[in-house]
Amino acid sequence: PRGAVRRVVPAKKPPPLVVRAARHGDDAPADASARRPRLVDPSNESKKRAATAGAKDIPVETCVACGGVGVVECRACGGKGTLAAGGFHAKNHVDMANVVGTNWTAHRRTKGWRHFECIGKSPADKANGKPRASVHLAATCDRDVTVWVDVKELKDRTLWSAGWKQREDLDWIGDPDQPGGAVAVPKPGAPCVACDGEGRVPCQRRGCVNGAERVRKQREVIERTERTFKKVIKATR
């Protein structure tokens, strides 16, 4: 060891960290050059060069999922924005983690109502004879009217639509004056529910700045729409 380190020793034992740090300081240049080849990512080289050349506004990290634009093709409809005749979504998407608060339209009048909101959920409990998860739905216009629906049934696109669908959003079969009323079926060529007919969805990749901004904006629009919708319902009651 060199003098600087040794002089500290008699006074009090130097913490091992100090000694190690000094040694590493000497080793650092050789160490770094030995490691460098592994750290180089060829795809980033041109960007790095541009950045060091003074173009500071070029982002060093570009989202690989969307190329930085913040949107990707909707996988549900392949970017077409519409459902094929008969509905290419085999099933409604039910995300059990976030299902409470989601809105649903019953294709058959259910306890007198068609528009529901999920207010609770119950997981599957196979040991106790409950093979599948279920959700608790409350009628939007009468919160006292609730119904438990098997998730398998909720996923069935011939029985339920995700969101609050209006009369013109769906096709109808049968007689509205019958006890169950007319039965709704998804319209062929209806807008894709996953992307709202846009054919593109916000990029969800972690760390995608533009994607996160689009997700945030989209959420704002949805919340505003639902507030308006609830007001309309109240006014027409």
Using the contact rule CB under 5 A, the part of the chain among 1-9, 90-98, 207-215, 229-237 near Zn ion is 207-215
Phi, psi (degrees; rounded to nearest 5) at 201:
-130, 155
Q: Return the number of the residue (120 or 188) whose C-beta is nearest Zn ion.
A: 188
| 208 scored as a contact of Zn ion (CB under 5 A) | yes
194 near Zn ion (CB under 5 A): yes
- In 3D space, the residue among 229, 219, 91, 83 whose CA is nearest the CA of residue 155 turns out to be 91
37-42-44-46 Cα dihedral, nearest 10 degrees: 110
Cβ proximity to Zn ion, 181 vs 197, nearer residue:
197
| Interface residue with Zn ion, options 66, 137, 170, 184 (CB under 5 A) | 66
Among 8, 19, 22, 65, binds Zn ion (CB under 5 A): 65
**Is residue 195 near Zn ion by the rule CB under 5 A?**
yes
H-helix or E-strand spanning residue 149: strand 142-150
Q: Which is nearer to Zn ion, 159 or 194 (CB)?
A: 194
Residue type, 189: G
Q: What is the DSSP letter of 220?
A: H
Shortest distance (Å) from residue 198 CB to Zn ion = 7
Q: Which is nearer to Zn ion, 51 or 84 (CB)?
A: 84
Interface residue with Zn ion, options 83, 99, 138, 203 (CB under 5 A): 203
193 scored as a contact of Zn ion (CB under 5 A): no
Rule CB under 5 A: say whether 162 interacts with Zn ion: no
Verify binding: residue 159, Zn ion, rule CB under 5 A.
no
Q: Which is nearer to Zn ion, 32 or 60 (CB)?
A: 60
CB 118 within 8 A of CB 132: no
Q: Which of 186, 119, 139 is nearest to 159 (CA)?
A: 186
Q: What's the min distance (Å) between Cβ of 132 and Zn ion? A: 27
Of the candidate spans 12-20, 127-135, 143-151, 206-214, the one that interacts with Zn ion by CB under 5 A turns out to be: 206-214
| Sign of torsion over alpha carbons 156, 161, 167, 170 | negative
Which one of residues 191, 205, 215, 226 is an interface residue with Zn ion (CB under 5 A)? 205
* Residue 83 binding Zn ion, by CB under 5 A: no
Residue with tokens 């093709």: 73
Q: Report residue 28 as tokens.
A: 């650092």
Q: Cβ closer to Zn ion: 76 or 99? A: 76
DSSP letter for 64, please. T
- The most distant pair of C-alpha atoms in the chain lies apart, rounded to whole Å, by 100
CA 222/CA 44 separation, integer angstroms: 38
Q: Are 123 and 224 in contact (CB under 8 A)?
A: no
Which parts of this chain interact with Zn ion (CB under 5 A)? 63, 65-66, 74, 76-77, 192, 194-195, 203, 205, 208, 211
